[in-house]
Amino acid sequence: MVVCKPAISSLSLGRASVHHLPTKLLQAEKHGIEGIELFHEDLEYIAKALPGDLTPENDIEAAHVVRQLCVQHSITIICLQPFWYDEGIRDPTEHFSRIAQLKHRMQLAQILHTDLILIPSTFLSADLLFPDLEARFLDLREAADLGAQQDPIIRFAYEGLCWGTYVDTWDACWEVVKSVDRPNFGICLDTFNIAGRVYADPTDPSGKSPNAERDLKASIERLIRTVDVEKVFLVQVADAEKLSSPIIKGHEYYSPAQPARMSWSRNCRLFYGEEEKRAYLPVKDIAQAIFHGLGFRGWVINELFSRSVWNPDPATPAEHARRAAEAWNRLVKDCNLEIAPKTPLKDALIPAESWEKLVTDCKMEAMPNEIF
């Protein structure tokens, strides 16, 4: 059996502007979720509440707060994401700005006790990017080399978004990883983004691309043959909703400013196997390939982006944590996974008397007494 651990994206429990991180962590713990993929926006909303608003110094202070909160709930921070590096960007000023941001993000990762930062493939307009591949490889090598200078070394998981400008499939993503050729630069395999380009088409009434089943089967076979599992740094599992009408002009999710797959991703992702919510992607086939074809073992991120994360109902984090836990149990059963034993975190905890000051300083909701 394949040994894995359950985790969730912090955004999947509710947007930071609507739901506070302490509440989300509490619900994750209650539902047996042991790790989080931390979205930087959760740090930012804590930093904004500190005197002086959002500054690099407050961002660092917020990272210390988040680390302690996660220890309090025995939740491991798997990675920090997303870092919009926009590899191959033409404007040198913008590139140097990204490098400065990256150095700060690595400092945050060290404080958070994670060695992994996720870089999604860019979806900037092609006219803002160098057309040649080598320029993009050079940018990503620069990031990897900066990460290698850290102690401990920072790793990067590169993810091919299914609406990316140049990298929109796992194949293209893997070619980038091989060409960057750094030990701390690997691939993120996301079931939604894999199926979202090869199998699905939200602009088609069927929700599927031509030859969807055949193309996905061939893609999975290539994945198993070509990807080195040692370079798989992150696995994300998500499904998506089959819409009753295609995302074209006139649809509520249509936006002329962004690709249809991006609109679909932001509004319609689901947790694994939520067929009652019209989930339809062949996630099980992709997951089987990752777990059994490649032999991946480790953290599995339940990742959902959806209109529901904006729901201001205070019950949203609990509801999403419940759904994620149910999806994880389905995945364990369907893919014959073995759950790795929980390893307790060892770190200084926030004493009860200090929490009251933290709540006041960060303007956060008071936590239940049971966490102390």
Residues in the chain, total: 372
Which pLDDT value is given to residue 3? 85
Give the type of residue at 357: K
CA distance 133 to 176: 9
* Closest C-alpha among 268, 299, 251 to residue 195: 268
Q: How does residue 364 score in pLDDT terms, banded at 50, 70 and 90?
A: low
Q: What is the pLDDT of residues 192-236, one digit of tens each?
A: 999 999 999 999 999 999 999 999 999 999 999 999 999 999 999
pLDDT tens string 298-355: 999 999 999 999 999 999 999 999 999 999 999 999 999 988 887 766 554 444 444 4
What's the mean pLDDT when you consider all of the chain? Answer: 92
Q: Does position 73 have pLDDT exceeding 50, yes or no? A: yes
Going along 133-279, which residue ranges are E strands? 155-159, 185-190, 232-237, 239-240, 269-270
Is residue 177 within 8 Å of residue 187, measured between CB atoms?
Answer: yes
How far is the C-alpha of 300 from the C-alpha of 234, rounded, in Å? Answer: 7
pLDDT digit string, tens, across residues 174-185: 999 999 999 999
Count helices and strands in the chain by DSSP H and E runs: 12, 11
CB contact at 8 A, 188 and 233: yes
Question: What pLDDT is stored for residue 2 in this prediction?
Answer: 73
Q: Each residue of 82-140: pLDDT tens digit?
A: 999 899 999 999 999 999 999 999 999 999 999 999 999 999 999 999 988 899 999 99
Backbone angles phi, psi at 318, to 5 degrees: -65, -40
Query: Hey, what amino acid is at 244?
Result: S
In whole angstroms, give the CA distance from residue 258 to residue 249: 12
Residue scoring higher pLDDT (370 or 13): 13
Q: Has residue 356 got a pLDDT over 70?
A: no
Query: How is 248-297 classified by DSSP, letter by letter?
Result: STTSTT--TTS-HHHHHHHHHEE-TT-GGGTB-S-HHHHHHIIIIIS---
Q: C-alpha distances in angstroms, 229 versus 23, 176, 211?
A: 35, 16, 28
Q: What is the pLDDT of residue 366?
A: 42
> Would you state the pLDDT for residue 367?
39
